[in-house]
Amino acid sequence: MSEGPDSREAGPDRPIGFFDSGVGGLTVLHECLVSLPAEDYLYVGDSGHFPYGEKSADELLERAQVIAGYLLDQDVKLLVVACNSATSAAGDSVRELGRKAGVPVVTVVGPEAEIAGAITENGRIGVLATPATVSSGAYHRALEEQGRAFTVTEVAAPDLAPIIQGGATFSEEVVETVRGYCRPLKEARIDTLILGCTHYPLIAPLLQRILGRDVRLVTAGHAIAGAIQRRLASEGALRDGDGEGGYGFRVTGEKESFVTLGTRFLQLPLGDRVEHLEI
């Protein structure tokens, strides 16, 4: 890490910060808790301003800057933007905030695109994402950076994140909604699908059934955990030991519903680890 007036020592005992529009980023946090169990984590769920996927780029930029600033003030050693819509609209801005504070920033779009580009066999890649993410063109740009010609089919799914956030994920109506979003992906004969919203892994089995077992699904969790491990190792900031670190949550919306739904996403207890945040 380069030294400067705003840089910090990347000590291993500082927490890793996460933020998302709600509970979706918990699918990423879950993978990190499994892959890097010794680390401490602080997660901000901006459920008071959910959904992000239909907000303007300016609105997303403002929320991302506010929450990133809060987490940087909590002395995190690395900041994860665990939201595709926020990454698409504000990734560069958050990375600049992190640079000024001497804190590395990891976002969800790049690592997913890298994996998708590496595993596709026919070069036909699908992206299922929120309208804000699709309109930003972030995945197109990230895939172009892989240096290979891909046929990319993007589908905006305005209803999926709210359905999943609301907890009703497996009714017949939901299945038909998902089938409708998958239709252009099947017509494009994709062999790889990027789940371009951190809520979507909760319906991965449904997507796999509709698209067929030969379509590979790329989610953010595994990609981000690997990126975090590599970055912290390069900074000498990985926490050693076999023990389990702690994890805590700040939520801008209603706390009880976050605990109920978040427990299902995280597959670990939240309980009294959740605090309300006015920001």
- Neighbouring C-alpha atoms within 13 Å toward the C-beta of 148: 17
Tokens of 44: 């901000």
Query: Is position 182 annotated as part of the catalytic site?
Result: no
Contact indicator for 27, 3 with CB cutoff of 8 Å? no
The alpha carbon torsion through 48, 53, 56, 62 (nearest 10 deg) reads 50
* Nearest CA among 252, 263, 268 for reference residue 71: 252
Q: What is the total residue count of the chain? A: 279
Token digits for 156?
């905006």
226 Cα distance to chain centroid: 13
Which residue out of 197, 225, 238, 266 is catalytically annotated?
197
* Long-range own/partner contacts, residues 162-166 (CB < 8 A, 24 or more apart): 162/50, 162/51, 164/24, 164/199, 164/200, 164/202, 164/203, 165/22, 165/23, 165/24, 165/47, 165/50, 165/51, 165/199, 165/261
Catalytic site residue from 16, 82, 83, 89: 83
Task: Please say if 83 is a catalytic residue.
Answer: yes
- Check if the beta carbon of residue 182 is closer than 8 Å to that of residue 207: yes
- Active-site positions? 83, 197
